[in-house]
Structure 1
């Protein structure tokens, strides 16, 4: 059954809708530090009370990793705090009928109170408020690549995540044949997201076994982060309901290219006039665009933990696999970190190519936009564009990405620019969470290690 967006604007709109439709239970949810979708069903009476006062979740949901393992290095929450409740506020504008089997009413939420300081959505809102105070609004669009498998959670466990069966074999990028053979799946994806006002501008096969790529139509930055987060979560639900599995890991197989989460962006004035375009400039770049780009390049290393937030993210960032490895830029050049895409006054934009599909959209967008704003504030010039293969350039250390998550977490935690943009509480907590994740990986014994060392050492 198709879902629908409810187009509610206020708590009063929500109350009226609930009174008219009389749902017995309502689904509420949120996205955590890692962008993982979490939530629960609550009774109608409790939901109506939560509209005014918010509702609580044990704040362990902000104090553990993707495997629900509690951080041992967090000052925000832990055994030392007793894991109290964190308050969440319901977002009236998020209301929808879920696009699945039942007419379930759903509302997304954002952390409030003390937890607001480390809430990913609130972090992005603070960056966008800074842009507004500077006279700008940001328009963005996100692309995601994701692998599809003829597997289930049970079969993955049974196979030990090895010898998986992809949706389709081999490489066949932009295949019209396969998109028509699997037309029912493609149409289901398009219809599902269209029903909840997430317009997919494109959907096609990408290079690799079972890879699909989609682009979400441009929107204001906060709305885009909401849509991108919902897309990732609901795409996985849609797949499992069809007996398939979708993964947004940055790189699931060392022999294949990784999966990108490229973000297109431009700044506009508050009266909605584009400010990146200058017809007199060689590359049609206004001073505002140059300085925004300059800031993105200058702070890419500091903010890498928000853009490449997982251990696996760094397996994707390797030369020759369509992923950048340093803070470089170029004009319509796909080997660089940030690509200038020439266009008309309204379409002239930047493509931020560093993020993989594994990103938390709120945080990757906050890093990309926030660093650009710092560039405007400080008048940072981007330097000369890269020509040809940017992988061959001799890039100075301060423009090279960290090579692992622990290094990225430490750099982020020490960054004064990060504290200025995102707040000290968030920087301390997020940096600690990335170092914890890296240490969890450091304790693991991998298949690679067993094959390499078991017999010979």
Structure 2
């Protein structure tokens, strides 16, 4: 049996038996999009397929350095960090090409009360609201990432300074680079095919050692899984080649930031329009249907309120500065890459919006949730977008209400106060995720930077 043919619990059991596996790997994703998991014995796996299993909920209550939040209500020392129920998703079965013996990977997600703050569960709730409104959502994620000729040990020995990029100079879309290093490129492409996140396009971007990968479109639930798996296993592949990949939003002040763009479209679920694009209307300007305009308006109006879901780290805000291919206001344009939202006119099949604001460090489940939920809310409210931006958005004045928060703390406060966020994601998620971003900001405030030492140590 092929892993892609696994759909049910019975299928999952069958493929494990066929491969005579004694163990399988099971993984899930935390607030920051970090994949966590373990090897599980076959008997335990079979039992968990039927009734779920327990996973310590501390993984929903700590940061990327395993430091415990002190401000979260859902879990903490006050709850004793109990186990939370988790369910395995049979249809998520993947081949693990790096491990001998036909090893398989299955994704899992938190269940019951924990599902209210689980990133994958959050996306599922948004998609369910879309379905109730009569829409199926489709998405394609794109990621830029830098490769370095370094190892986890060497970057720490160097104190993260004077790192050697995989390739030198600024050579975007370079045939020289992807031919000289074609072995690595083919490994990346093959990984995407084997693990079912097929890559539609792969090329060098502007900057030393930076690549961009565009993952093929799929229904939005699968697109979230594919984005999260791509980021995880791109890092694995790089390290197995004695390289390192980073998805930091901006690792150096000297180079452009790294984006995580999201292409989105809706299709009707039922009636005589079933399967047809909800965004395409050939009789309207730019082929934009009324529904696409409402969707776009929701994305635009709620971008400042939902920003911490798509720009979730302190480093995200280093990227959101003028002139570096990252917008600072919630703007839109047609085929305009200086705006936050890019309308891409096309056929009934290809008409879509591109949510360009997102950075590569975002949790794919949450960034996709924010981009989709804001659009759906716009349809609910029948909002209309602001005027289309023509020309260089960076050089134009924009209404103050379209300005984006400039710090993670400010973004978390806007999110926490958002009525739309609570409607689309639920109070439990909003409170927990906002608290986790506040924690991240407070951890940063404890840090004494090289800039401060150089600026103040002697002279003040």
TM-score by length of 2: 0.97
**CA contact under 8 A between 1:51 and 1:89: conserved in structure 2?**
yes
Bigger shift: residues 243-252 or 17-26: 17-26
Provide Cα deviations, 1:324-383, integer angstroms capped at 9, x if missing partner: 111100011111010011111211111100101111111111111111111111110002
Which secondary structure state, in structure 2, belongs to the residue aligned with residue 407 of structure 1? helix
Which secondary structure state, in structure 2, belongs to the residue aligned with residue 16 of structure 1? helix
1:206 Cα offset (Å): 0.6
**CA contact under 8 A between 1:97 and 1:106: conserved in structure 2?**
yes
Q: Which residue of 2 aligns with 1:160?
A: 159
**CA contact under 8 A between 2:136 and 2:266: conserved in structure 1?**
yes
**CA contact under 8 A between 1:4 and 1:197: conserved in structure 2?**
no
Which secondary structure state, in structure 1, belongs to the residue aligned with residue 305 of structure 2? coil
**CA contact under 8 A between 1:28 and 1:41: conserved in structure 2?**
yes
1:264 Cα offset (Å): 0.7
Which secondary structure state, in structure 1, belongs to the residue aligned with residue 279 of structure 2? coil
**Take 1:61 and 1:101, find their aligned partners in 2: how far apart are those partners?**
25
Q: Which residue of 1 aligns with 2:117?
A: 118
Q: Which residue of 2 aligns with 1:308?
A: 311
**Take 2:24 and 2:3, find their aligned partners in 1: how far apart are those partners?**
15
1:450 Cα offset (Å): 1.6
Alignment map for 1:300-379 (pairs within 5 Å): 300-379=303-382
Q: Which residue of 2 aligns with 1:33?
A: 31
**Take 2:203 and 2:178, find their aligned partners in 1: how far apart are those partners?**
7
Which secondary structure state, in structure 2, belongs to the residue aligned with residue 214 of structure 1? strand
**CA contact under 8 A between 2:268 and 2:275: conserved in structure 1?**
yes
**Take 2:182 and 2:237, find their aligned partners in 1: how far apart are those partners?**
15
**Take 2:123 and 2:396, find their aligned partners in 1: how far apart are those partners?**
33
**Take 1:263 and 1:191, find their aligned partners in 2: how far apart are those partners?**
23
Q: Which residue of 2 aligns with 1:132?
A: 131
1:396 Cα offset (Å): 2.5
1:18 Cα offset (Å): 2.2
1:401 Cα offset (Å): 0.7
**Please, which runs of 5 or more residues in structure 1 have no aligned partner?**
none
1:4 Cα offset (Å): 6.7
Q: How many residues align?
A: 455
**Take 1:241 and 1:373, find their aligned partners in 2: how far apart are those partners?**
41
**Take 2:396 and 2:84, find their aligned partners in 1: how far apart are those partners?**
47
Question: Are residues 1:277 and 2:280 paired?
Answer: yes
**Take 1:133 and 1:68, find their aligned partners in 2: how far apart are those partners?**
38
TM-score by length of 1: 0.98
Q: Of residues 15, 18, 26 in structure 1, which corresponds to 2:16?
A: 18
Q: Which residue of 2 aligns with 1:262?
A: 261
**Take 1:390 and 1:4, find their aligned partners in 2: how far apart are those partners?**
48
Which secondary structure state, in structure 2, belongs to the residue aligned with residue 143 of structure 1? strand
**CA contact under 8 A between 2:95 and 2:194: conserved in structure 1?**
no
**CA contact under 8 A between 1:328 and 1:338: conserved in structure 2?**
yes
Q: Which residue of 2 aligns with 1:445?
A: 448
**Take 1:448 and 1:7, find their aligned partners in 2: how far apart are those partners?**
54
Question: Are residues 1:426 and 2:421 paired?
Answer: no
1:5 Cα offset (Å): 3.4
1:113 Cα offset (Å): 1.7
Q: Considering only aligned residues, what root-mean-square deviation do their CA atoms show, in Å?
A: 1.2
**CA contact under 8 A between 2:276 and 2:348: conserved in structure 1?**
no
